[in-house]
Amino acid sequence: MKVRLPVRRAILERKTYEPPGEGRSGKLRLDFNENTAGCSPAVLRALAKLTPRLLAMYPEYQQSTKRLARYFGVAPDEILLANGGDDALRVFFDTFVDPAGSILICEPTFPMYRYYAEIVGARVVALRYSMQMQFPLDAALSALRNKPTVMFIANPNNPTGTLLHSSSIQKILRAAPHTAVVIDEAYAEFSGVTVVPWIRRYRNLFVVRTFSKAAGLAGLRLGAVIANQSSLALLQRAMPPFPVNLAALAAAEAAVADRGAIRRYVRGVTETREWFGTQLARISVRTFPSAGNFLLADFGPTGPALFRKLEKQGILLRERSREIAPGFVRITIGTRDEMRRLLCAIEASGYSSRAGKRNN
Ligand SMILES: Cc1ncc(COP(=O)(O)O)c(C=O)c1O
Ligand 1 center–CA 33 separation, angstroms: 9
Q: List strands edge to edge, sheet with 150-154.
A: 79-82, 223-227, 205-210, 180-184, 150-154, 102-107, 123-128
For position 23, what pLDDT does the model report? 86
Share in percent of the chain as helix, strand, coil (round to 5): 40, 15, 45
Each residue of 115-165: pLDDT tens digit? 999 999 999 999 999 999 999 999 999 999 999 999 999 999 999 999 999
Mutate to test the pocket of ligand 1, among 32, 115, 213 (most ligand atoms within 8 A of CB): 213
Q: Where are the beta strands (DSSP E) in 93-173?
A: 102-107, 123-128, 150-154
SS3 state of residue 229: helix
Q: Whose CA is nearest to atom 4 of ligand 1?
A: 85
Residue 84 near ligand 1, beta carbon < 6 Å: yes
Cα 55 to Cα 50, 223, 245, distances in angstroms: 7, 20, 9
Question: Rounded to an integer, what distance in angstroms lies between the CA atom of residue 290 and that of residue 191?
Answer: 9
pLDDT for res 354: 62
92 lines ligand 1 (CB under 6 A): no
Grade residue 283 by pLDDT with cuts at 50, 70 and 90.
very high
Percent of the chain with pLDDT over 70: 97
| Helical packing angle, 85-96 and 229-236, nearest 10° | 90
Per-residue confidence (pLDDT) for residue 21, from 0 to 100 = 72
What average pLDDT score do residues 242-260 get? Answer: 98
Of 174, 210, 197, 183, nearest to 87 by C-alpha is 210
128, β-bridge pairs: 107
The kind and range of the H/E element at 96 are helix 85-96
Q: Does pLDDT of 302 surpass 60?
A: yes
CB of 155 sitting under 6 A from ligand 1: no
Compare 24 and 73 and report the one with higher pLDDT: 73
Residue 61 has pLDDT above 80, yes or no: yes
Summarised one tens digit per residue, pLDDT across range 70-125 is 999 999 999 999 999 999 999 999 999 999 999 999 999 999 999 999 999 999 99
Residue 131 has, within 13 A of its CA and on its CB side, a CA count of 8
- pLDDT at site 357: 56
169-187 mean pLDDT: 98
pLDDT in tens, 328-357: 999 999 999 999 999 999 999 988 766 545
Residue 15 banded pLDDT, cuts 50, 70, 90: confident
pTM assigned to the model: 0.96
- Which of ligand 1's atoms lies nearest the C-alpha of 210? 11
Nearest protein Cα to ligand 1, atom 5: 85
- What are the distances in angstroms from CA 237 to CA 94, 240, 244? 9, 8, 16
Compute the distance from residue 74 Cα to the ligand 1 centre, in Å: 21
pLDDT tens digit string along 203-231? 999 999 999 999 999 999 999 999 999 99
* HEC profile of 55-84: HHCCCCCHHHHHHHHHHHCCCHHHEEEECC
For range 168-184, the mean pLDDT? 98
pLDDT at 213: 98
- In the prediction, which pLDDT does 5 show? 95
Output the CA 340–ligand 1 centroid distance in Å. 26
Cβ–Cβ < 8 Å for 352, 52: no
Q: Which of 184, 189, 220, 333 to mutate to test the pocket of ligand 1 (most atoms within 8 A of CB)?
A: 184
